[in-house]
Structure formats: C-alpha cells, structure tokens
Amino acid sequence: MFKIIEKSTPSIKVNKFVIEAPEIAKKVLPGQFVILRLDEKGERIPITVADKDIEKGTITLFIQEVGKTTTKMGTLKNGDSILDIVGPLGVPSHIENFGTVLCIAGGVGVAVIYPIAKALKEKGNKIISILGARSKDFMILENEIKKISDEFYITTDDGSYVQKGFVSDVLKKLIAQSPGKPVADIVYAIGPVPMMRVISDITKQHNLKTIVSLNPIMVDGTGMCGACRVSVGGVTKFACVEGPDFDGHLVNWAELVNRLCVFKTKEKESLDHHCKLDK
C-alpha cells in the first residue's frame, strides 16, 4: 500500500498527490513514470512522476480526471492509500548541456516537463518555457517553472490569463524574432497529442530537434504486452521500455491518435458504471 501524504487540487480536474514511496523516490529520474492500480478491481494506469523528495521518501503525481480511475482518485483524501505502484519505468530523459532548451508544455504535460526542465537547468542550460492551458483555472506549476526559466511565456486558449492563443503561436513568434539563428538547441514538447504534433510540425520546418513524451495505452509497462507500440521512423517501438521520450519529427502521429481512441467507448462505459455505483 502506498499512502497519500498530501492531496490538493491545483487546477480544475487536476489533482496533486504526494505519495509515500521511498524506494521509487530514491531511483526515479526525470521523464520516468510509474504504473498504479488503485484497488483490487482497478486498471493499471501510467503516470509520469513530476517530483520526488528522497529525504521524505515521497513522489509527486499530477493526475487529470479523465476516466474512471482518475476520477475516482479525485475523491481520495490525505491518509488514503493506493494499492499498487510500480516504477520507475521507462527510459529517463536525456539530460545534458545543450545550450538553450525550449520547454513547451500544455495542460497536465506541464507536470511532466517540470522535472526535465529542472534537471536541464541544473546542467547549465538556458531555459525558455512556454506553458499553455485551456484557461487560467487549468494552469499548474506556473511559479515552479517560472523560477527555473530564463524566459517565460504563458498562453491560454480563451485568453483568461496573460495571453490568448496557443503555445504554437508563441513558438512561431520566437522563431520569427530570431531570423537566421535557431531559437534553441533542442525543444522539449510535452502535452496533449495534438499539441505535440503541431509543435513537431513547426520545428521540423525549422530543423529544431524536438523531443516529445508519449502516452499510449499501456498495461504492464515492462515491454511484455506491446499495447503501447508506436511507429517511430517507420519502426515499431514499445513506449514503455524504449520511451516515453521520442524524436517528435519521426513519430507517426496519426497512428498514435487512432490507437489512443481504441477504448473510448469502453472508457465511457466504465466511467458511467462508476457514476451509477456512486449514486
């Protein structure tokens, strides 16, 4: 059992959990994830680790309420427990001194990019961050990212905060402002699939190497089931053991989008079932 030490709701539909998991805290590196199972009948869901505290023996997860498990997690309180957590899983993000790194994140992807950006900053990189959210109430980890950024931009889809638009608008502007010179040495883009796809399309035109973090459907997370297969550069990769980070210019986005939809109807059925039980 893994005890929840602290639970809060930093944005609409996004819950933050600080969970006692000392062994995982000791080992997890930026970019890696865990798979949790809430209870005996629960499914296994992969979640990237946003932060850790080795001394306190905790890991921090930001979990957006989408399906049954994540919605049910929203009802958990301090002191409650999660039945199973396995990790760290996946290959850690590649951290080195590239020079300037552009960190682009949207929605709950901000929680995924946070430990990566922090590690990149510690390696001496200049960090330019662009964060996006649907509206002000959906923004997470703004101050934390701002603190480690040399340049910092925010957009909201509805204009309720700072600047109306998408992260891609800011990216285009930065590229336009820097003619003849690459805006960064490498780009990390993490967020909803459509966002990562758009960013990758833009950076490809400008030859800016772009790393994305993929979130396909997974079951075991150890390379055993192959549910998470993605085509990268025409080759099938298992995101759980060969990712989750991949070259955004090589990902077959259409296939990923389709594969993510495969249980849509079932997911709704599961959520409905849960809601009925609750009533």
Partner 1 sequence: MEKIPRQKMPVQNPQERVKNFSSVALGYSEEQAILEAKRCIQCKNPTCVKGCPVEINIPGFIKEIANKNFTAAAKILKDKNNLPAVCGRVCPQETQCEIKCVLSKKSDPVAIGRLERFIADWERKNSPMSLPAKDSVEGDVPNLKSEILNLRSKVAILGSGPAGLTCAADLAKLGYEVTIFESLHTPGGVLMYGIPEFRLPKDIVHHEIDYIKSLGVKIKTNMLVGKIKTVKELFDEGYKAIFIGTGAGLPQFLGIPGENLNKIYSANEFLTRVNLMKAYKFPEYDTPVNIGKRVAVFGAGNVAMDSARVSLRLGAEEVFIVYRRSEKEMPARLEEIENAKEEGVKFHLLTAPIKFIGDENNNVIKVECLKMELGEPDASGRRRPVPIKGSEFTIDVDTVVIAIGQTPNPLLPKTISDLKIGKHGNIIVDEVTGATNIPGIYAGGDIATGAATVIDAMGAGKRAARAIDEYVKSKK
Binding piece for partner 1, criterion CB under 8 A, among 80-88, 134-142, 168-176, 196-204:
80-88
* 255 part of the interface to partner 1, by CB under 8 A: yes
Q: Which of 85, 95, 130, 175 binds partner 1 (CB under 8 A)?
A: 85
Site for partner 1 in 228-247 (CB under 8 A): 229-231, 236, 241
* 23 part of the interface to partner 1, by CB under 8 A: yes
Q: For residue 81, give the H/E element and its range.
A: strand 81-82
Cα dist. 161→137, 165, 201 in Å?
9, 10, 26
Binding piece for partner 1, criterion CB under 8 A, among 8-16, 119-127, 177-185, 225-233:
225-233
User: What x-and-dash track marks residues 31-70 binding partner 1 by CB under 8 A?
Assistant: ------x---xxxx-----------------------xx-
Binding piece for partner 1, criterion CB under 8 A, among 114-122, 150-158, 173-181, 254-262:
254-262
- Count, residues in the chain: 279
Residue found by looking up tokens 């062994």 in the block: 23
Q: What is the 3-state secondary structure (H, E, C) of 118-186?
A: HHHHHCCCEEEEEEEECCHHHCCCHHHHHHHCCEEEEEECCCCCCCECCHHHHHHHHHHHCCCCCCCCE
Q: What does the DSSP 8-state code read for residue 266?
A: H
Torsion of CA 271, 276, 277, 278, to 10 degrees: 90
Q: Which residues bind partner 1 (CB under 8 A)?
A: 23-24, 27, 37, 41-44, 68-69, 83-89, 219-220, 222-227, 229-231, 236, 241, 254-255, 258-259, 261-263, 266-267, 269-270, 273-274
